[in-house]
Amino acid sequence: MLRYVLRRILYAVPILVGVALLTFVLFYASASPQSLARRNLSTRNPTQEQIQQWLKDHGYDKPLSVQFKNHVTGLLVFRFGKSDATGEPIWNRIKQGAGPSGLVASLVFLTGLTAAISFAVAVAYFRGTYVDYFGTFLCVLLMSIVFIVYVIGLQYLLGKILKYGPIAGFQTGIAAWKFVLLPVVIGVLAGLGSETRLFRTFLLDEINQDYVRTARAKGVGERAVLLRHVLKNALIPIITSTVAAIPALILGSLVLENFFGIPGLGSYLIDAINSQDFAVVRAMVYLGSILYIVGLILTDIAYALVDPRVRLE
Amino acid sequence: MGRFFQSDLFYNLVPLLVTAALIFVVVRARRQPLWAEAYRRIGRNKIALTALGVICLYGFVALLDSIGSTDPKTQTRRTLLDRVFEKEKEKTYSAPGARMTTGEPIPSPLKAPGTHLLGTDGVGDDVLYRTLKGCRTAFIIGGLTSLIATPLALCLGLLAGYFGRRTDDAVQYTYTVLSSVPSILLLIALILVLGRGLLQICLALGITRWVGLCRLTRGETLKHRDRDYVRAARALGVSNARILARHILPNLLPVVIISVTLGFSGLILSEAILSYLGVGVGAEIGSWGNMIDAARDELARDPVIWWNLTSAATALFVLVLAFNIFGDALRDAVDPRLRSS
Amino acid sequence: MPPLLQVENLRTYFHTPRGIAKAVDGVSFQVEQGKTLAIVGESGCGKSITALSLLQLVPEPAGYIEGGRILFEGRDLLDLTWDQMRRVRGDDIAMIFQEPMTSLNPTFTIGYQLVEAMTMHGKFTGAQARQRAKDLLARVGLQDPAQALRQYPHELSGGMRQRVMIAIALSNEPKLLIADEPTTALDVTVQAQILALIRDLQREQNMGVLLITHDLGIVAETSEEVAVMYAGQIVEYGPTSAIFHEPRHPYARGLFASLPARGRRGQDLATLEGIVPPPTAWPPACRFEPRCAYRWDTCAQVPPKYHPADSDRPVRCHLYDPEIADRPARGAAPIAKEPVAPDPTVEAAR
């Protein structure tokens, strides 16, 4: 098992190097540092010295090859440097924002997964009936609504009209639950349609397998067939598909945190977009990729745990 | 020549040619046996036909908003849609069908009372007009991005799947790296660097979108590469290029068309999200994303300004739903083995 | 005493886009305790659906049992509630399937799947069931039962998996075993072992066995009675030896003539022309008529009668119906083509 994990991590190294290269090409090679400096200096008409000083402070004055070396080595050891806009060390903000972001994202992920699996099982249990038909159609309806409309509409409905929770703000510790309640509910509802529909097809693929017939012929009841035999096999594609949920989770934190005033990484990134803070965006792109690759490795491990046919060698 | 690309003639010719090409392809495809069967199945599916009708209706509005001429006086281009909605701007918000403005301490009478079916927005524009303006943007985002991503994905996927080895390694490495960056972050980064604008957004979406289709194409090509008919062609000395173009590509087309159709709705949704994140099409281009973004604080006002958000969200929802339904029906019709149920 | 299983006029239909498919259309047969009935026929003739209908495992919602009676020890299984029927499955009536590769759940151990079959019916508690599972695996011929309990299906060969399937089926000592093509997917040498195993176990437990197969070679040595099925109906029924010596229905003649036999060495093997028509489009009168070498006008107009009650060798063919006036003499030259002569010396060539 350990060797398997180590090998997976080794595989990830060239991909991380690729990501570092990609971000470098994107941010260093295609944007002129001069204009970057002008944009970020607060004075209206910066003198040439001010610009030079800014470039020096932020490491944009060195030759491209040196910048590349610094960039790649910096990223590999998580040295993200200073924000272009405020000069604040990026790592500090990441440390502060990781907690709230992680809390919201992990709650959305776990609740959403549980809810989607439960609904998919229910719909699959009633397969071929009107429950199935309308459930599937409802899923298509739900997945046709754009995420931000969920956020705006449900915040208005749940927060302002029904007053189920505060509509903005954040506190650390136990008190946080009040502030993450609405964002999590909204995040879960927004992803429910497409996930339920996807998981339903996974379940139905398994329901037609021969081993299900064997289980029924043994006298296993329909509910146990679904919850034990079918679900365990359907978990394999479900697990594989959860990696695809990571970009959606990131998008979720971006919009939800910004909308509910949660001081997480999503809010940080949106501020950075608005102030054209390349250094922060760069760091976030890299961080997101690491998150994705870690997710992939975790998926592989989970996959191996569920499916005995995957040998951990 | 440069003048031509700026001229009204060019701007009018492109949408007309695109529409004509689309109709031509749709009519011609009917003659092919595989597609003829798919047409029959869709023809029996009333819901799918309704969805197709809705898509065509949106497409028609987009077309109306693409054809126009430059006004010699103001030197601005005005489309047919602009001419239909030739009204004076109001001062500020007004409710659907209202006669007085909303949101001012003292409501003032409208210049064109009762004619704004969906009300007006904060700067006094007719909301119905703004909503219809979004159709063109949605179709350009969906269509242009597909035009950028599909050929790229097809070429690389075919080459990787067919030739294998180094080519395959290179293509796979490229898309593994690209797909390791969560798409929304890559989009933000690309648009920050490329700048905001319709073309830039399509390019950025294209770069993030080709990966999925490329993976699909590569897998399908791998399957076909070892089939007997390809081996036979190779044994007969048919060139690689010809095998790819004449034997493998036609077999991939159904899968590609289905995936592009199903991807269309995702692209339209992306536009709205990007606008919200501040990296969407510029404010001067009418889009549903911009309308929703502008409307996010309007629900907090008193009285509540709901019509801006509702109009844009509904227009977006209906089009996306139509694409989802039609895409599913198309998949079921073209390849019954891929049926979702 | 009633027979162990008596099926009367069973009809199982399917809704399809092309109309209703009468996959099983009026099938009657019976299985005695300790005896074996073989149902033979080409693929697509409704054998497997018949077997699945007995346990009410027809794929829903497309398939449904339209009518008939399935009397098991005198009570009609079609009258049972869903839960009562569940308790019959795997306890009174067990079933093994054709595909040993896919019929076991890949994500559970052999031991789990065996124990589950036993605890499901409350006859054994956990510890007993585990001990019995080990014994059963030893009985069906697995080398290392203790290890096999911990293994997953993919770690076993096809023959071993089919042995596990048999162990699962026999775990509750069923009175009736339905074996749906139990050896089709296996190698020839393994086939013989599996058949011998089923036969031994049948003798030990005095089970009735319903054997579904298209392989006539295994019928002769395993079953007392044979039902020949074609297009959703039984066309001929009788003792194995009688049918092997003198198949009457033209379809059965064709089927048996396609077996290699010592008496016809050097000749080409006879084959049946054509395929079974799709179940949505059975021919209106005699369903074998379009493929029949003996057909005449009446065959396309009047459905042949079938009276299992009146005779111990019922045949669904006008050739054997005294009420049909214009029938040619039995065994007369076929009208359409070369006769497929019934060969009295036919024996299943091994």
ω before B72 within 30° of 0 (cis)? no
Whether A45 shows a pLDDT value over 70: the answer reads no
pLDDT the model gives residue B319:
92
pLDDT the model gives residue A114:
93
pLDDT, tens only, C242-283: 888 888 888 888 887 777 665 556 666 666 777 777 878 888
Asked if C209 and C67 sit in the same domain, the reply is yes
Residue-averaged pLDDT of chain C: 82
- For residues B31 and A185, what is the distance between their CA atoms, to the nearest angstrom? 50
pLDDT the model gives residue B127:
80
Where does B164-303 have alpha helices with state H? 165-180, 183-194, 198-225, 228-235, 240-242, 249-276, 288-295
DSSP annotation of C12: E
pLDDT the model gives residue C332:
52
Give A149's contacts in chain B (Cβ within 8 Å). 272, 292, 309, 313, 316-317
Listing DSSP states for C183-216 in one string gives: TTTS-HHHHHHHHHHHHHHHHHHT-EEEEEES-H
The number of beta carbons lying within 10 Å of the beta carbon of residue C32 is 15
Q: Give which of A25, A148, A201, A205 to mutate to test B binding, by max B Cβ within 10 Å.
A: A148
Give the 3-state secondary structure of residue B79: strand
Mean pLDDT for A116-127 is: 90
Whether A254 shows a pLDDT value over 80: the answer reads yes
Asked if C262 and C348 sit in the same domain, the reply is yes
Mean pLDDT for A30-51 is: 66
Confidence of residue C322 (pLDDT cuts 50, 70, 90): confident
The number of beta carbons lying within 10 Å of the beta carbon of residue B310 is 19
Whether C17 shows a pLDDT value over 90: the answer reads no
DSSP annotation of B90: -
Contact across the interface for B193 and A26, Cβ inside 8 Å:
yes
Question: Six-digit token pair at C65?
Answer: 């049992």
Last-in-domain residue among C173, C193, C217: C173
- Convert B181-213 to b/e letters by CB count within 10 Å (16 or more is b): bbbbbbbbbbbbbbebebebbbbbbbbbbbbbb
Asked if C142 and C221 sit in the same domain, the reply is no
CA distances from C96 to A222, B54, B250, C189, C307 (A): 19, 52, 44, 19, 31
pLDDT the model gives residue C211:
92
pLDDT the model gives residue C342:
43
Contacts of C257 (CB under 8 A, 6+ apart): C269, C270, C340, C341, C342, C343, C346
Whether A95 shows a pLDDT value over 50: the answer reads yes
CA distance A125 to chain B (A): 13
Asked if C12 and C120 sit in the same domain, the reply is no
Confidence of residue A313 (pLDDT cuts 50, 70, 90): very low
Mean pLDDT for C223-236 is: 89
Give the 3-state secondary structure of residue C232: coil
Residue-averaged pLDDT of chain A: 81
pLDDT the model gives residue C341:
44
Amino acid sitting at position C79: D
Confidence of residue C349 (pLDDT cuts 50, 70, 90): very low
Of C55, C95, C103, nearest to A211 by CB-CB distance is C103
Asked if C54 and C121 sit in the same domain, the reply is no
Report helix, strand and coil shares of chain A as percent, to nearest 5: 80, 0, 20
ω before C61 within 30° of 0 (cis)? yes
Contact across the interface for A214 and C87, Cβ inside 8 Å:
no
Asked if C183 and C161 sit in the same domain, the reply is no
More confident residue, A23 or A200: A200
Asked if C73 and C211 sit in the same domain, the reply is yes
Whether chain A has a CB inside 8 Å of the CB on B97: the answer is no
Asked if C3 and C45 sit in the same domain, the reply is yes
Q: Give which of A205, A211, A229, A230 to mutate to test C binding, by max C Cβ within 10 Å.
A: A211
Asked if C313 and C234 sit in the same domain, the reply is yes
Q: Give me the domains of chain B, ranges plus CATH numbers.
A: 2-85+126-334 (1.10.3720.10)
pLDDT the model gives residue B54:
92
Asked if C122 and C144 sit in the same domain, the reply is yes
Give the 3-state secondary structure of residue B267: helix
Please report the number of interchain residue pairs, chain A to chain B, with beta-carbon separation below 8 angstroms: 124
Strands (E) in B2-101, as ranges, are 68-70, 77-79
Whether A115 shows a pLDDT value over 90: the answer reads yes
Residues in chain A: 313
Contact across the interface for C116 and A233, Cβ inside 8 Å:
no
Whether chain C has a CB inside 8 Å of the CB on A311: the answer is no
Asked if C333 and C279 sit in the same domain, the reply is yes
Last-in-domain residue among C137, C152, C173: C173
Amino acid sitting at position C291: R
Q: How far apart are the first and last CA of chain B?
A: 54
**Smallest Cα–Cα separation from C174: which of C100, C92, C243?**
C92
**Smallest Cα–Cα separation from A309: which of C324, B34, C107, B156?**
C107
Contact across the interface for A217 and C152, Cβ inside 8 Å:
no
**Smallest Cα–Cα separation from C27: which of C56, C48, C44, C50?**
C50
Kindly list the domain boundaries of chain A, sorted by start residue.
1-85+275-313, 99-274
Give B307's contacts in chain A (Cβ within 8 Å). none
Give C88's contacts in chain A (Cβ within 8 Å). 219
| Chains contacting B (3+ CB pairs below 8 angstroms) | A
pLDDT in tens, chain B (341 residues): 566 777 777 778 888 888 888 888 888 888 877 778 788 888 888 888 999 999 999 988 888 888 877 777 777 777 777 777 777 777 777 777 777 777 777 777 777 777 777 777 777 778 888 888 888 888 888 889 998 889 898 888 888 888 878 888 888 888 888 888 888 888 888 888 887 788 888 999 998 888 888 988 888 888 888 888 888 887 887 878 888 887 788 878 888 888 888 888 889 888 888 888 888 887 778 888 888 888 877 777 777 778 888 888 899 999 999 999 998 888 888 865 544 33
Contacts of C36 (CB under 8 A, 6+ apart): C202, C208, C209, C210, C211, C222, C223, C224, C225
What pairs with residue C69 in β-bridges?
Answer: C8
Whether C210 shows a pLDDT value over 90: the answer reads yes
Give C110's contacts in chain A (Cβ within 8 Å). none
Domain with C277 in it: 1-92+176-350
Confidence of residue A111 (pLDDT cuts 50, 70, 90): very high
Q: Which of A17-31, A54-68, B110-124 has the highest mean pLDDT?
A: A17-31
Last-in-domain residue among C152, C173, C194: C173
Mean pLDDT for A264-291 is: 84
CB C346 within 8 A of CB C254: no
| Count of the separate structural domains present in chain C | 2
- For residues B209 and B150, what is the distance between their CA atoms, to the nearest angstrom? 9
pLDDT the model gives residue A71:
75
CA distances from A243 to A185, A296, B180, C131, C255 (A): 21, 6, 10, 42, 55
Of C107, C116, C154, nearest to A218 by CB-CB distance is C116
Whether C330 shows a pLDDT value over 60: the answer reads no
Confidence of residue A38 (pLDDT cuts 50, 70, 90): low
CA distances from C123 to A74, A96, B6, C128 (A): 66, 60, 85, 9
**Smallest Cα–Cα separation from B179: which of B220, B157, B152, B212?**
B212
Whether C78 shows a pLDDT value over 60: the answer reads yes
Question: Six-digit token pair at B176?
Answer: 């593994």
Share of chain C above pLDDT 70, in %: 88
- For residues C101 and C158, what is the distance between their CA atoms, to the nearest angstrom? 6
Give the 3-state secondary structure of residue B106: coil
Give the H/E segment covering residue C36. strand C36-40
Whether chain C has a CB inside 8 Å of the CB on A226: the answer is no
Asked if C120 and C205 sit in the same domain, the reply is no
Confidence of residue C183 (pLDDT cuts 50, 70, 90): confident
Q: Which CATH superfamily is domain A99-274 in?
A: MetI-like (1.10.3720.10)
Listing DSSP states for C49-94 in one string gives: HHHHHHTT-PPTTTEEEEEEEEEETTEEGGGS-HHHHHHHBTTTEE
Is 0.90 exceeded by the ipTM?
no
Contact across the interface for A216 and C116, Cβ inside 8 Å:
no
Place of tokens 């079974």: C276
